[in-house]
Amino acid sequence: MSIDSVIITATRLQESQLAIPLSTTKLNFSETQFIRQQLSFQEYLNEVPGLFSLNANNYSQDLRISLRGFGSRSAFGIRGIKLLVDGIPETTPDGQGQLDNLNLGIIEDIEVIRGPSATLYGNASGGIISIRTMNTVKKPFFEGDISIGNYGFQKYQILHGFRRNNTSFILQGNYTNTDGYRDQSGFSNYNFDAKMAHRFSENSKLNLLLNYTNSPYAEDAGGLTLDELNANRRQARQRNVDFKTEESVEQFKIGSSYELNIDQKSNFSTYGFFASRNFKGKLPFEFGGVIDLQRNYFGNGSSFEFKTGENRLQVGYDWAIQNDNRKRFRNLNGEQGNMTLDQLEQFSNLGIYLLDHWTLDKLLIRVGVRYDINKLEAVDDFLNNGDASGEIKLNAFNPSVGVTYRLNSKQSLFTGFSTSFETPTLSELSADPTGTGGFNEELEAQKA
């Protein structure tokens, strides 16, 4: 019996898992989807060493993930870890990530890279989680699923795939709703995905994807003290009840990727995407406790790989821009009060990188360098307390080197050095303790 090599693609220069001088995990779910509830991404991460996740059942705060410590300081969502779905960034340029738009039912496999990886993906790359969804259809199929449970839980899902010559189409939609186990913990979510994969020839292929998510409400029950828990574990925190804490999200995303094997020695790949996200939230405090955020972000990246003898070289770039129109108001016991903040924020990034692999008998040497240009800008439109407009530049250079020694076909030893950096997110920068708007310029990038 032979065991097929596990190939890791999230390293950009794809390689056998045993040859890569990085700590990696790859999990396949194509045969096990039917045994999963498909309610939280946490269900797919339990087998990953070094990874810890929280908030699987709080659909307002979203799943929080810590990977060897990176991401542990996130107040909500996923920070410090780069998220990719089908090779396209799901993390915004400023480093914030959410997966409330991910259709769990079409996940095919997940690759996780543990440790600083800024050479590969720049900002907020203390680790990598790369998700690949169902992509090809061999024969037409139609699947439906209905789940009903306690506390008003309902989930309806359909999945359809078909093929036309060299083109595969996959459509999926689902609706999930629950009242929640605790008071004020219900949520409702509509999700739709459409994918197309077309192969022009054996050497070139094109992927197109479209995603739409609408969550009209996701309530936040908040945390309880031990005494409150013992008295009634299903109650919501009173402060959250008073301020009616919840969020609503509507997101649209479209993306594409193209790969071309030019010849046996060289290949080219590129991707592009655009996303729009409207967010409204209520937090459990008065000043600035109502948030109205309109965000769009878009980007493009390309790479060229050249092989000669035992050497493989890849050069490429990633470019992305994030625009946030952020408004905050007083939260008057759940009702919107006077405005406290109104500003336009932008985060622009351009990263240029070089990766090189040398294979010398049983030894593989991997080196990489990347330089990121990050420009952050705020335009203050709330001038009652003065004009706090400003600009920040947080550029970064990140090198890496790793060495792997193959002991045999099943074992290897590796060592490496790599770095990461994590800029403050736009939401952190806009939370200036002076309350005057603009950016808190005292915040700097976190480095490791």
Q: Count CB-CB contacts under 10 A for residue 125.
A: 27
CA distances from residue 46 to 41, 101, 316 in whole angstroms, order as listed: 10, 20, 33
**Do the domain assignments include residue 1?**
no
DSSP code for 32: T
pTM over 0.95? The answer is: no
What are the structure tokens assigned to 36, written together?
A: 């999963």
**Do the domain assignments include residue 2?**
no
**Do the domain assignments include residue 405?**
yes
Give me the amino acid identity at 193: D
**Do the domain assignments include residue 269?**
yes
**CATH code for the domain in which residue 324 is found:** 2.40.170.20
Query: Which pLDDT belongs to residue 435?
Result: 66
**Do the domain assignments include residue 267?**
yes
Q: Is the pLDDT of residue 12 over 60?
A: yes
Q: Which of 12-21, 343-352, 382-391 has the lowest mean pLDDT?
A: 382-391
Q: Which of 205-214, 317-326, 378-387 has the lowest mean pLDDT?
A: 378-387
Instruction: Work out the average pLDDT over 107-128.
Output: 92
**Do the domain assignments include residue 391?**
yes
Question: For residue range 36-80, what is the model confidence (pLDDT) as tens digits?
Answer: 888 888 889 988 999 988 877 788 878 888 899 888 887 777 888
Domain limits at 177? 7-447
Q: Across 64-73, 125-134, 250-259, which has the greatest mean pLDDT?
A: 250-259
Instruction: Work out the average pLDDT over 321-342.
Output: 93
Instruction: Work out the average pLDDT over 409-434.
Output: 86
Number of structural domains the chain divides into: 1
Q: Kindly give, in sequence order, each residue whose CB lies less than 8 Å from that of residue 5, ignoring residues fewer than 6 positions away.
A: 16, 17, 18
Nearest to 53 by CA among 29, 36, 72: 72
Query: Which pLDDT belongs to residue 386?
Result: 67
Query: Which pLDDT belongs to residue 136?
Result: 84
Instruction: Work out the average pLDDT over 181-194.
Output: 94
Share of the chain above pLDDT 70, in %: 98
Q: Is the pLDDT of residue 324 over 80?
A: yes
Query: Which pLDDT belongs to residue 138?
Result: 87
Instruction: Work out the average pLDDT over 147-164.
Output: 93
Q: Is the pLDDT of residue 3 over 90?
A: no
Mean pLDDT of the chain: 90
Task: Work out the angle at residue 321's Cα, subtended by the Cα atoms of residues 425 and 318, and round it to the nearest 5 degrees.
Answer: 100
Q: Is the pLDDT of residue 233 over 50?
A: yes
Query: Which pLDDT belongs to residue 426?
Result: 86
**Do the domain assignments include residue 433?**
yes
**Do the domain assignments include residue 118?**
yes
